[in-house]
Structure 1
């Protein structure tokens, strides 16, 4: 039985329990009443008997004393009489009186007692003690007392009988009450059992009903779920149809549905737009499609097949138009072909983009030339198709000074230079040759067939002349050239990358020799390339290993007596490359970029060491050579001023030496850097004057400075009159421009005398001293040793580049 069912019977069970408790309470009340009555009757009768006997005896003794003539207290006699009178009267009143009146002789005794007491009362008042009238009354009084005692005993027995009768009656009632109580309890139990049985039946019916309801509810839920699913399916189907309709109408591809004969039944908006025919006008007409490769797409679809491909069409406005065409049959459930589906997508733009991507994958976007990939592919084709005994060539060229143009004038000008050079190179080669941009300022030229090396030289000469022409780009007039390496196939390589490496090696050999030329690859060049790689690797760690040192060659006045300055010269203490000429490893350092970090170290160390000498000789000037790479650095002027401030060397005591070549390649940035440093007090000198392509216009751009005559002119002064004339002319020109002149390589007294006579300002050479270490220089020329230079923190080249 469930808890809910039990709770339903709680009121009924409570009612039965209350009834049983009520009956039990009644029985307890009856029993208590019986006991109380018995006790009351017993107590009243005993009390009455005791009191009546005592009071009667008291009165009888007083009365007897009076009869004998004894004097008694009238008041006591009166009190005893009143008490006895009240006892006799009280015995026949209330419940006891009722009992006494029902007893035999009870009423008569009562009347006799009252009558006797009535007779005695006046006698007591009128007679005195010993009066003979008292004796009869005493005898009657004793008789009355005896009758009263008998009456009391009879009343006691009668009352006892009444109590017993009542007890029997009570016990009978009590038994009936217990029987009724048991019957009630039994009836209640039977009722509960019946109710429980009924409840179980009801619970069974309820469970059956609930199961039936649950089953019906589940069935209804399944029906509802099926209905919802069907509604959702219909909604999704409707939404799918709507989406399909919208997709067809908004599709970027033209969609056409025809009957099996090709008669149009449906076209979307895109088809109407592409064909210029409304959907209403198109429906009912026969669809005509272009055949592709002799195949009729509609006929194939009617036969049960499908066709898909790209079709090229003629545009009404001219030009080409491409279309991606798909034709497929539409079948019914029984497999019959009911319709034909045609999808036409205009892919003209995509074909154009693919063509552009293909072009960009093989051509350089800036110059329009073939790129590295296409150039190597054509080189590979040329090498594979070369006939026995025939030759071809690969030219690898790199523009000289292009980085300076790009850094100073910007990438826009640099791009225009590359485009102009590309056009000139293309115009200088043959029709079958390929000019390609390899990357940056590097170009490849593939010559698939050549007669001999002279033909290669003729082509290179035409290219050189074309590129050497001035480049007029807006307000800029620029000059450039190239360093070129040539490799022949199959002699120098039988596959493209080997030939490319050979041409690259030859090109770097040209750069190592001073640029602006060309060279054919040889086995010796390969050895030099390996040596160059080793030197470059060693240079990159030379600073870390503390392999560099500075030596100083003094500079004197024309008389050769007064010290005016010193030139700082770099020495590399490396046992492996001790025999390598300084010019060679300096060029490698400049080409690899290591010269920037090395030059920074040279400038810092020279300023640190010279600062001590300037304390002793304030007019002393220290000269430091600059490379083109250093001067083209964007922050080079600031770096120089930072080093000067850190070393405490006055700017006026520093002379920076630059070459004529650097001036000729100036793109504006060099002049700006020079002007910034000169404004701060730093001086400049043109080193190796006379060995380059000097021009007075270039010299005039320097606001002040010095010329350093190259040692090659000084060496021939005693043997060659023309050298003397050139030196004399250079000195005269410098003076006219307000510049001082320094002569390098003075080794004899005659040379010194000639130079002094013709107005040369300063002299430098072995006649005075070789280059010596800083300590020796200080000891010999300053008069005291130099103060220790501050510790320098050497940073690897790679780290310096990142900063």
Structure 2
């Protein structure tokens, strides 16, 4: 049976009495009546005094006082197992004044003693008459009752404190507890369990609800474990995936145990419930890292050996043991010289001492081929790469060893099959990549750069078609021999692809010493015409080539980006063919990097808020404004101003041109709606890409935008390039006809620069043809004395087709006058106005809306439109 432990000190008793004052006072009242005393109080003992905490005298309430104890004079009796002190006549003790407060004649008291047999508390009863025998027995019973009550309150206080501490520990550690009663089928959860489930305690959690938060497979595992615990009493501890009431994914550790009765039956099951999400995440990450390292080590075919400064082997992997034929016991603690043949073994200690003293080592950080010795005494060739590290303040050296004996034996086969071009016999692009990467590693360590050149044979495809592929191979062989003869020993020569050769400087150099590379002198050597004279049968033929070169910083760019930039240099050199040369220095590489960054940013530019439109005014012969062309601009927060010539071609390579085009259409038509509201209804031309107009939903989206902004379709001009027309003429024609039926006009931009057929143009609903700036630029100061046939032809064709002609890029008066004389209808360019930003355009619209001839200008434009669209 459970027994309360006695309270052992007066401070504890005082704290309990104060905290449970109401309960104790009520108990004292009941016991006072049971005893029949005039006053009953509980006190703590401090030396010879009683410091009263709670006292009752009939119904007069509580009083506090100090009571002088004269226990030695009291009569000690033992009743009901309690030592009771009886004071038959208090008046005999004039120094005690308690009886004066209560008008008491006698008293009875009993004391609680601690483990040291010290009195720490007392229950005192006062009587107006002499103490009766029955009162004495009742007092003993009351004392036991009150002592047990006080001790129980103490235990409850300790229990509450322990429970509060447990709650705090559970909250900090994210560990809850549960208990299940199999007989009643009830489950109890601590507060932290509800926290982990993200469920309010007042809502409660049933066993079925608790199980439902686990993933299906985890739920099955937990149910089986719980059933096994109930039936067989086998404990469990499981880590399972879990979803709380908010949908948050967690990992929990659920554990269970049981209590059995004498018949070995489970009568109670209980356990812990812990949120281990953070621990699990860290463990999974750690395991993934460990697994990754393990996978790397498992897939390394090289031997790894670690030695200290004395050359003693401290670690090695299994590959090393297999390679040299030793056991780990034989090599660990041995000197590394045991793996070296003479004279390397004898010189190794001297070499290590020299390196320790000077820090100079030819092999450190550089791969090197050396002989090695197996346990059997067999000498084989190895490739050794040595690096240095510091571990616990001591320098150590890690050697990566590759057995290359088989590779050396099969060197010819490897060269021919993997690293040699089968036509020219030169090392191929795979070998080039390997050497570049090795050289790049060295360059990165030294913060150096590389110099690379790419030479491409011009029009090799034409040569192959004309003379045959066998002749082409023969030509490449002869050119390769010529290039090898003139190439400096400072460069390695490789066959790059079908018709190109690549040169790599064998040495790295400081990026600040670029001037030491005389690329122009190298160009003169490589691009000599006789290097490309070939003899094919009886024919002596001469080919040409283009050369590109770059200064490559491997710490800033990857191998792949280096190739892209190098190929860009060759493309630039072909603009100066034959025998063109183009060198890309740091500025050119930065430009290529910008090209890549532009390409990456295009997918989201339409939603970035960085696009804007400018409006190029269009004028008639009398310099009246008759319309505007909307032109897109991109001001990037990261890239600055990005020219349309840079980003539009890139956008057309992907779907980005669709989202950009949709934005331009909406913005331009919104601007048209604004100008109409201001009373200046001027047409706006919108450039549409070839990729966008053949999109299946283009017409629907375009008409929807027109309806949304409530603008007349007749005031919208869609500009298409000739490329758009020939992309898919049947689809383009269908779209043009559909939109023209609603009144939308069409303009052919860059006319004369593409490959469109006049037959196509005749069948399409075109309203105007634009003379490209490329042709307008030809009109010079002597234009009054010359005839510009292409310009004249375009204007004549537009007249023949019955459409307007619009000249772009008009920058000088002489150009405007010539075009006007030839009958051009509309002009745009810097001679009239630069493109206007939104604010400038709105100011111009405001001026035009108040101009006296504003309406006449619109009529003029419409008259021209009507005249050339019939």
TM-score, structure 2 normalization: 0.34
**Larger proportion of helix:** 1
- Which structure is larger by alpha-carbon Rg, 1 or 2? 1
| Structure with greater contact order relative to length (CA < 8 Å, sep ≥ 6) | 1
